[in-house]
Structure 1
Amino acid sequence: MTATHISCSGSKVPQQLQTEVTNEVAKTENNEKPKPAARSGIRNYGDVITKEAISDEGLFTIHKVGDKYYYEIPDSLLQRDFLWISRFANLPSGLGNGYVNAGSSVNEQMVVWQKFENKIVLKTKSYNAFAADSLPISLSVQANNYQPTLYAFDIAALSKDSAGFVIDVTKFLTSDIKAFSGLDAEMRKNYKVSKLDESRSFIYSAKSFPLNLEVKQDFTYDAAEPPSNSATGSISLMMNQSMVLLPKVPMQPRLNDYRVGYFNIRQIDYGSEALKADEKSYIRRWRLEPKDVEAYKRGELVEPVKPIVYYLDPATPVKLRPYIKAGVEQWNKAFETAGFKNAILAKDPPSPAEDPDFNPEDVRYSVIRYVASTTRNAVGPSVSDPRSGEIIESDIIWYHNHLRSYRNRYLLETGAANPNARTLDTPLDDLGEMMLEVITHEVGHALGLPHNMKASAAYPTDSLRSGKFTQEYGIAATIMDYARYHYVAQPGDKNIRFVRQLGPYDHYAINWGYRFLPDAKSAEAEVPTLSKWINEKSANPIYQFGSGSGGYDPESQTEGIGADVIKSSTYGLANLKKVAPKLYDWTASKTNDYDDLDELYGELLGVWSRYIGHVVTNVGGVHENRLKPDQAGFIYTPVAARTQAASLDWLLKNAFTSPEWLNQTNISRNIHHASYVENIRSLQVRHLNNLLSPDRMARLMENEVNNVNYNALDMVRQLQRGIWSEVYSGAKIDIYRRNLQKAYLDRMHHLLNEEPPRSRSSYGTPVEISQSDIRSIVWGELVKLQRQLKSAQSRYANDLSRYHVDDALVRIDKILNPVKS
């Protein structure tokens, strides 16, 4: 709060909402103004809100009197629906193991303010269970879904005009209320949090805007094991509590269809005519309505009544602003497919003279925030109405260091074929293009679109080597895939686009979610048209959606491009083998420093690992094609047997052989005294254990009933013979292979003798190991390996290979005959 009276009465509010708020404040819900009365505890207004009060007018008027905070709530806003969002404003390093950042949402809930006798009550309100008020069953829904009371306030005074109530919110805003806290139960347990230290906790600021309240709380907790600054025994964080007034009349929702990717909200409709409660899902989207409905019907491009507007953060570097604005407005191409022109706009931050009321915390303004942080990330969150899915507001967050990640991957993944990438000083136009596309991706999230990981498999791998194709269609069918760079193109390929771009799926999805259907007066009435659009394009892979969850569909993976993952990874690996010998020349030799070389070499190992992981998914893989019963085909189809076998053969040659090409002496001897062998072991073992995971073996076992001629036994036999190929040939076993073979035995011990979590793996593929074929296969193949090792002993001299074989035999004996404690 500032030290002067702050008034929002002159704020520029959208006319419709301004009128709504003005009309609502002018009357009460029951057309009766509360009458002043000499009730116990209710004081005169002037005795509570004294002349010393610092007041901020807006949705509620916030008063600060000394060290106390008061809300003055218009009677007309009782029983209205509000959305309450709790976010981290500032937090200590390491909180949540680094998976949460400033701006991360902790909780979203709908709330309502109610009057009960001499109290104002704040309650949660849920639309998860729903029935129209006109239906008798709505009474039962209310009775059987009674919502918690979050807080009860004594009425301190009536408003001057008796059209509202004053409550003291000081204790409420300085208390550790679980519904609004940033520390969940797991964090409190992990960090051994005992209590909120009220002596070190306070209200940092409280602001009122025409449609929202924003409060920041500076909280310190006593914690025996905090994530950082352990000597303090404390966790300090700043929480931002936002309360947003929702429209009095919700937008007409659009029913979700899982064949098109949209974030969604879920409701259980007890008023359905079905013989059970009907679960409904509505997509999250902005309210876009054409100014001229008749022109829109004629197929003309029409501006929306209220466009989507993003303002740039005043802290944004001037040289980057054109790229950010272009990234936002690139979506206009897709909105034109949906019949709208100028649907989304990006604007520079207004000066105080242009808009004295501009404030990024005001829900009327969506802002692309430029955050001074070493975090390498960007996020596109949004706030939506839980009743209809209408997106109310969105703040895109760009972290300052994020471009460093893109520069590194640009160099590593495209450097073999792209001269512009072979430097630490990436040209500004290239960096700007990367930033533009990242912003477009994050705005896509804020428009309601989740990741579509299936889109990167829509294009044939060899088509990606065509400059004409990539310039027109990009490297994936959507900007919403994690297909950031073109690693397939080879040296000599001409006119290649190396960075992702908006694709045909984006036009399709925006049209499906945002096209205005004026003749459909309900969500249900829209369904025939929406389904028709999907069915018309269902056979084309460009328009398919896959979330990438589950880890079983090789066509729906992160960071991949091209339909043939074996061919794509082969191309990618060939490029990486050209980049590795040049890495020193492109970094340390130019900077006279090894820091960038160390960082990039570590990321190069990650890129290699990623290409391997793409091929691993083929083994035990299952293609998912989202279909409805009126469409031909199956949703789940196992990967062809020959493809699974070929994938494992590729892995044995490219992942599990000794990767001498990675041992660049001018790198490994300059960045660490001894880490190369261990780095290779760690990466190889990760993929070995992934292949021999219970969930993958369960899918391979199921191939037997799906008439796929490649099962878990085939996979283990092929893998074991490849991993132990030296034992069959008599070749010397080098250090990488010795490490890998020991890891193989450790994994077999794990599968045979350890008890993993019952029934389901982390991927959700059901398997009960002790009652499946997994242990039978492991036992049988280990016995075979034991015999082979014994026969090979005599072929090895008294060296490390012989010692390794002897050790392996002892290990296998202990695995097959464990000592019971």
Structure 2
Amino acid sequence: MKRILLLCLLATFFTTQDSFAQRKESRRKKSKNKTEEKAPEGKSDKNGFKPYSKVITKDAVTDSGLFQVHKIKDEFFYEVPFSQLNKDMLWVTRIAQIPNGLGGGYINAGSKTNEQVVQWERFQDKILIKIKSYASVADSTKAISNSVRVNNYEPTLYAFDIKAFDKDSTAAVINVTKLFSSDVKGISALSGRLRKQYKVKKLDANRSFINSVKSFPKNIEVKQDFTYDAAEPPTERAAESISLQVNQSMILLPEQPMQPRLYDPRVGFFTVKQYDYGSEALKADQKTYIRRWRLEPSDVEAYKRGELVEPVKPIVYYLDPGTPESLKEYIKQGIEDWQKPFETSGFKNAIIAKDAPTPEEDPEFSPEDIRYSVVRYVASTTRNAVGPSVSDPRSGEIIESDIIWYHNHLRSYRNRYLLETGAANPSARTLDTPEEEIGEMMRMVIAHEVGHALGFPHNMAASYAYDVASYRDGAFTQKNGIAASLMDYARYNYIAQPGDTNIRFVRQMGPYDHYATNWGYRWIPEATSPLMEKATLNQWIQEKAGDPVYKFGRQSSSFDPQSQTEAIGNDPVKASTYGIKNLRYVAQNLPSWTSSKTNDYQDLEELYGELIGVYSRFVGHVVTNIGGVFENLKTPAQGGVVYTHLDEASQKESMQWLQNNLFETPTWLVDPAILQNIDHAGYAEKIRRTQSRYLNRLLSFDRLGRLIDAETTQTEYYSALEMLSHLRSGIWSETRRGASVDIYRRNLQRSYLERMAYLMTDEGPKSRSGRPGFEGALRYDISASDVRPLVRGELQKLKKTLRSARNASVDTMTKYHYEDAIARIDQLLDPK
């Protein structure tokens, strides 16, 4: 009996346990699949999810792609696949259409206003868009990756309620109408600065709507038409409104990021940066990768054998549908000029130019579509061209880029061509530059901007690679152009003189462009990680070390005579001497080349203003020599030092040149045949403004600091004391000669006193920080430095000289001027 009872109890126990386990498993499955439960037809389930057919009705117009997109009347829905959750997507906001004048001319149709990586995530009954950052990273297998995650919590861009699930429960349905019809700051095309400038109050919902939403296999494109209430719009002020069309692009980034290539500052590339907390270094190790397109050989074995191979996916640029027919040829040539440098890196047909497809050929084509790189032709009076791009922050892979060409930019090149080459180049002496020459200029500008879009920054040292004398050699210029790189700001050969023959005046692709393209784009098959490439990349640099043709000079090196914008030749004094000689010839002939032909003075006025600008640049190149420091980037293994001061003799020569060509009044700029036909007054002010600009640059805390620093490292140097003494002696030379001081010199001398007062009273720059990639001003404690004693000493010497000169003054105006100068010095030295 006991045995039977025991068996019954055991049977009951196991039955109960089995039943409990089944209920537990049932609850687990229900919990796991609760989002997949289907509500009875026509009713919401207990979680509030509606049946799919009640959300996505038969009226829906559906577009399939990365996400399913549905339009029902004026509302838009996304089906977000669970398979795409937590994947990296690049979100780019651009302006598609823009009102005239917004942003002052440097914002246009096609301008990118924001670029960010996002991930779509599920949180309970919501779908979130999270902004993802790769500024701080760590290997996910390492414990510190958890700390990186919790200390870099990403913001939520937007949150959506899940409305339903698709028919097989693999995607969540959300309503995105509010996201794209509201003024969401994270994806707005109107920056805070512009909102403040135009006194934007709010988005007017009644005049704002979603234009279109299109889904493609790897991207979604949304166009919004927005109108803002604005008290002071840039145009149509009476409407108190700003209307613009915005394009939102979201593209799925590669599941496997491109293998990054480590940056080396000795070769110029734009970069992306990450702090790697998983590094073995005893710090957050900053990893810097170059930005470049993903080029992989279509035939690996042939590439290894050294044969030219087409890439798996070439770089394709489309021409804006609004491009004038007469310019298309030159734009295409400028794009495909980069085929030769890519051949140096082992790829043929790596970059291709195409016309945009017609609406009949591809009704879906849009210049804002992130799948297409486009040379945008902008109907704007702005004179500029730019080459921006968007890239994958994980690897530096460039995903897409738009070259922006502003319509009036050709006028800038015509003017510069006339002013800088007109003395030696008869075909430039006209307002109607021959079409083929204008086309060649445009071709080179487009190629320059494409270079930026390929990852290359300006290389300001490339024009310093050639000797000044070479620019007068026809055979040399035809072969080598005017700089070792197209990425320099070396536009024209302003050194060649009248009588020089067979001269090339316009820039072209150079040997550095081939070298840098090979360094950044050559595929290294045996290297399976960035570190494995490093030795090879370093070897390529070492092979070219010491050859100025392959030197990279940062644009930020404003202190480096080698790396100057708009300069050519390896001797600024000689180059600027030739340049001014040519400019004087042009100035004499400017009326006959312009107003005499057109019978009005508009072009004469414009070109004269730009002529002063060209003269100013020539002067600025020589100013950089004073306190100049050469920057030659190198590794310790290469030996030598990175920074070297320009020699004393060259600096003294530069100071004398400035006295002769800047501070002694450039009277050739004061031509009545020009000035009295373009303005009623202000002639002396034009000269004063130019002289003061460069006087102030000479008398800057930054330059004085470098001159003082030279005493700590050099045995022979041009001291700050010598520089100030030479400057004072030259600017106030009339005091020694007993000569009258004319209006130009009086203006200059008062500007000198104003600048000396600034040096005595200002505290100097507060920080060295500036634009990324650009050097800030040298920062040091001015009050504890030699600056104030030097300035005080110079002013006391000057005061003594002025007292003697005042008594010997030959005219009343000079005497008054000296008395005023003495009073100013007294006030400065003893304010009480």
Q: Do both proteins adopt the same fold according to a TM-score greater than 0.5, normalized to the shorter chain? A: yes
Helix, strand or coil: the match of 1:704? Answer: helix
CA distance in 2, matches of 1:593, 1:204: 47
Q: CA deviation at 1:798?
A: 4.2
Identity %: 62
2:628 touches 2:645 (CA, 8 Å); kept in 1?
A: yes
Which residue matches 2:562? Answer: 555
| In the alignment, structure 1 residue 546 sits paired with structure 2 residue 559 | no
Deviating more after overlay: 567-576 vs 340-349: 340-349
Helix, strand or coil: the match of 1:369? Answer: strand
Which residue matches 1:710? Answer: 718
CA distance in 2, matches of 1:82, 1:219: 25
| Structure 1 residues 727 and 90: CA distance shift in structure 2, 3 A | farther
| In the alignment, structure 1 residue 792 sits paired with structure 2 residue 805 | yes
Q: CA deviation at 1:385?
A: 1.0
Equivalent residue letter for 2:723: M
Which residue matches 2:512? Answer: 505
1:41 touches 1:154 (CA, 8 Å); kept in 2?
A: no
1:209 touches 1:362 (CA, 8 Å); kept in 2?
A: no
1:758 touches 1:768 (CA, 8 Å); kept in 2?
A: no
2:657 aligned residue (637, 642, 650): 650
CA distance in 2, matches of 1:257, 1:565: 28
CA distance in 2, matches of 1:534, 1:289: 22
| In the alignment, structure 1 residue 166 sits paired with structure 2 residue 173 | yes
CA distance in 1, matches of 2:476, 2:166: 67
Deviating more after overlay: 43-52 vs 601-610: 43-52
Equivalent residue letter for 1:749: A
CA distance in 1, matches of 2:767, 2:395: 37
Unaligned 5+ segments in structure 1 are 1-29
Which residue matches 2:730? Answer: 722
Equivalent residue letter for 1:721: S
Superposed CA deviations along residues 75-128 of structure 1, whole A, max 9, x for unmatched, are: 221111101122333455665555544433322211000111111000011111
Q: CA deviation at 1:309?
A: 1.3
2:109 touches 2:378 (CA, 8 Å); kept in 1?
A: no
1:621 aligned residue (615, 624, 628): 628
| In the alignment, structure 1 residue 49 sits paired with structure 2 residue 60 | no
Which residue matches 2:145? Answer: 138
Which residue matches 2:614? Answer: 607
| In the alignment, structure 1 residue 684 sits paired with structure 2 residue 691 | yes
Equivalent residue letter for 2:596: S
| Structure 1 residues 781 and 209: CA distance shift in structure 2, 3 A | same
| Structure 1 residues 629 and 724: CA distance shift in structure 2, 3 A | same
Equivalent residue letter for 1:710: Y
CA distance in 1, matches of 2:779, 2:226: 43
CA distance in 2, matches of 1:403, 1:779: 50
1:73 aligned residue (57, 72, 80): 80
Helix, strand or coil: the match of 2:224? Answer: strand
Helix, strand or coil: the match of 1:705? Answer: helix
CA distance in 2, matches of 1:98, 1:810: 46
Q: CA deviation at 1:548?
A: 1.7
Which residue matches 1:669? Answer: 676
Deviating more after overlay: 701-710 vs 200-209: 200-209
CA distance in 2, matches of 1:767, 1:279: 27
Which residue matches 2:751? Answer: 743
| In the alignment, structure 1 residue 273 sits paired with structure 2 residue 280 | yes
CA distance in 1, matches of 2:704, 2:769: 11
Superposed CA deviations along residues 730-750 of structure 1, whole A, max 9, x for unmatched, are: 122111111111111111111
Which residue matches 1:515? Answer: 522
RMSD: 2.2
1:754-773 alignment to 2 at 5 Å?
A: 754-758=762-766, 760=768, 763-773=776-786
Deviating more after overlay: 162-171 vs 210-219: 210-219
1:94 touches 1:228 (CA, 8 Å); kept in 2?
A: yes
Count of residues paired in the alignment: 790
Q: Is the radius of gyration larger for structure 1 or structure 2?
A: 2
1:384 touches 1:392 (CA, 8 Å); kept in 2?
A: yes
CA distance in 2, matches of 1:299, 1:704: 53
2:137 touches 2:275 (CA, 8 Å); kept in 1?
A: yes
Superposed CA deviations along residues 287-328 of structure 1, whole A, max 9, x for unmatched, are: 111111111111111111111111222222222111111111
Q: CA deviation at 1:180?
A: 2.1
Equivalent residue letter for 1:795: A
Helix, strand or coil: the match of 2:173? Answer: strand
Deviating more after overlay: 102-111 vs 192-201: 192-201
Helix, strand or coil: the match of 2:711? Answer: coil
1:759 touches 1:767 (CA, 8 Å); kept in 2?
A: no
1:188-203 alignment to 2 at 5 Å?
A: 188-189=195-196, 193-203=200-210
Helix, strand or coil: the match of 1:589? Answer: helix
Superposed CA deviations along residues 761-818 of structure 1, whole A, max 9, x for unmatched, are: 9732122221211111111110110110110012224432222112111111111122
Which residue matches 1:578? Answer: 585
Superposed CA deviations along residues 485-529 of structure 1, whole A, max 9, x for unmatched, are: 111111111111100000000000000001011111111100000
Unaligned 5+ segments in structure 2 are 1-31, 40-44, 771-775
| Structure 1 residues 122 and 694: CA distance shift in structure 2, 3 A | same
Helix, strand or coil: the match of 2:118? Answer: strand
2:483 aligned residue (476, 479, 487): 476
| In the alignment, structure 1 residue 815 sits paired with structure 2 residue 828 | yes
| In the alignment, structure 1 residue 364 sits paired with structure 2 residue 371 | yes
Superposed CA deviations along residues 340-363 of structure 1, whole A, max 9, x for unmatched, are: 111111122234454454333333
CA distance in 2, matches of 1:311, 1:792: 70
1:64-463 alignment to 2 at 5 Å?
A: 64-91=71-98, 96=103, 99-189=106-196, 193-223=200-230, 235-463=242-470
1:81 touches 1:110 (CA, 8 Å); kept in 2?
A: yes
| Structure 1 residues 127 and 677: CA distance shift in structure 2, 3 A | same
CA distance in 2, matches of 1:296, 1:250: 22
Helix, strand or coil: the match of 1:71? Answer: strand
CA distance in 1, matches of 2:322, 2:766: 51
Superposed CA deviations along residues 214-240 of structure 1, whole A, max 9, x for unmatched, are: 223344445556566666655544433
Helix, strand or coil: the match of 2:162? Answer: strand
2:414 touches 2:433 (CA, 8 Å); kept in 1?
A: yes
1:761 touches 1:767 (CA, 8 Å); kept in 2?
A: no
Helix, strand or coil: the match of 1:703? Answer: helix
| Structure 1 residues 735 and 70: CA distance shift in structure 2, 3 A | same
| Structure 1 residues 676 and 211: CA distance shift in structure 2, 3 A | farther
| Structure 1 residues 318 and 102: CA distance shift in structure 2, 3 A | closer
Superposed CA deviations along residues 555-608 of structure 1, whole A, max 9, x for unmatched, are: 111111101011111111110000001111111111112111111111111000
Helix, strand or coil: the match of 2:128? Answer: strand
CA distance in 1, matches of 2:239, 2:316: 44
Helix, strand or coil: the match of 1:789? Answer: helix
CA distance in 2, matches of 1:759, 1:73: 47
2:247 touches 2:368 (CA, 8 Å); kept in 1?
A: no
Superposed CA deviations along residues 243-272 of structure 1, whole A, max 9, x for unmatched, are: 111111111111111110111111111222
Equivalent residue letter for 1:713: L
| Structure 1 residues 100 and 755: CA distance shift in structure 2, 3 A | farther
CA distance in 2, matches of 1:729, 1:183: 61
2:701 touches 2:764 (CA, 8 Å); kept in 1?
A: no
Q: CA deviation at 1:138?
A: 2.2
2:765 touches 2:778 (CA, 8 Å); kept in 1?
A: no
CA distance in 2, matches of 1:79, 1:48: 25
CA distance in 2, matches of 1:45, 1:526: 52
